[in-house]
Each structure stands twice: as structure tokens, then as C-alpha cells.
Amino acid sequence: MTAIYEAILEDKARVWKSSELKDMLRRSLSKRIRITADPHKRGKASTKLRRYYEKYTVLVSETLKEPSFQTFVHSLLKKENMEVEKIADVQIKTFPVKKENGNSLVGKCSNKGVICLYPQGIRFWRKRMPNGRKDEITFYIKCRARAALIHEILHTKYLSKEGRVRELTRKYFNAFMRRNELDQNKQRIIQKIFPTAPLHKPEQSLKR
């Protein structure tokens, strides 16, 4: 077990003092998480697409605001000696954005601490998970959202050090997921997000 792993689990296992809990809730990142939509894209999208992306972003918002994940993020920030105030805003965008290579953009952050997270385009499911059940797709979306937020939070500290950010993203994501029982199917789904190696291996990188 790595030192970073031990530190996270130790912080999670201890009993929070009342003053610490109140401070954590007061400074919770969840208050900075909001859904935003591009009116132009919304106007051009079909009713079916709008409904899909609206449900997608609500699921992402609820996932990132879960108390267990927010507590974990609080521990991450402490471990990295980062202040939550460094993150000014977390915008969950309703519609996807394509990169120059044609892949969907997962997230980005500005030098002002504004983080933007983007949904997975609907065509992805037809290509990568054509036979995916609803619970599998939901699990993928939740994991992708958590990994993306961790990744962009780390970018606010490490800026353009992409290799370092990807390495830490894998470690922190694994630390959070370690508490869950992962069957082979869930392991396989996670490898679609960290595709270069099995879960818990050091060669993993966040697919962007």
C-alpha cells in the first residue's frame, strides 16, 4: 500500500471533531458545483438529445456532491496542501465539446480556478458500450465524473505537468474506489477510463 493511499485511508478512518466537520461543510466544494448550458447548443439540439444531456449532467452533479466523495476531496486537498478557495467554480456543462483530434473533451481548468466538466457524447455508447446495461452506463458516468474532477483539481496546483497529474489522478481515484467491491465487469468499465493498465497499476492514465 502506497504512502498516499495510507494517508487518505487514515484521514477517512479517523473520527471528525465537531469543529473540523463544521469547517469542512462550510468550505465544501459542493457549493461551487453547478450545471451550465450553452443556449445556442441547446436551441440546436433535438428534444431527445436535450433530455439525454440534462439527465447526464444531473447524475454527474449528484455524484460529485455525494457526502462521501466530498469528504474524500476534502482529504485530497489537505494532502496536497491546497485551499478549497483556489477552486473558484466547477461548471458541469450540459453539452459536449470536441477536441481537435475528434475525441470528446473530459474537462479543463483555467488559471483562475474555474473547472469545466463535459459529458460523454451519445455516440460513445454505440461504439464502446453498445450492449451496456443501464447500471453499467451509470457506473461509467459516475467514475468518469469523479476521475475528471480529481484530475482538474490537481491541474490547479500542477498546472501543465500532465504526467504528474495523471499519475496522481490514478492514485487518488484508486484510493476512493478501494472501499468498493469491484467485480470483473466494473473493473472492465473502469479500464475504459484508465485504458492502459488494470486498476491499481502505476502505468494508468486518465483518458481525455
Amino acid at position 36, single letter: T
Classify each residue of 79-111 as buried b or exposed e, where b means 16 or more C-beta atoms within 10 Å of its C-beta: eeeeebeebeebbbbbbbbeeeeeebbbbbbee
174 — phi, psi (to 5°)? -60, -40
Any idea what DSSP says for residue 66? -
Question: 465524473: which residue's cell?
Answer: 145
Q: What is the pLDDT of residues 16-61, one digit of tens each?
A: 455 554 555 556 788 899 999 888 888 788 898 899 999 999 999 9
Contact by Cβ (8 Å): 75, 153: no
pTM value is: 0.80
- How far is it, in rounded angstroms, from Cα 159 to Cα 52? 32
Mean pLDDT to the nearest integer, 5-10: 44
Beta-carbon count within 10 A of 45 CB: 18
The model's confidence at residue 204, banded by pLDDT at 50, 70 and 90, is very low
Beta-carbon count within 10 A of 150 CB: 25
The model's confidence at residue 150, banded by pLDDT at 50, 70 and 90, is very high
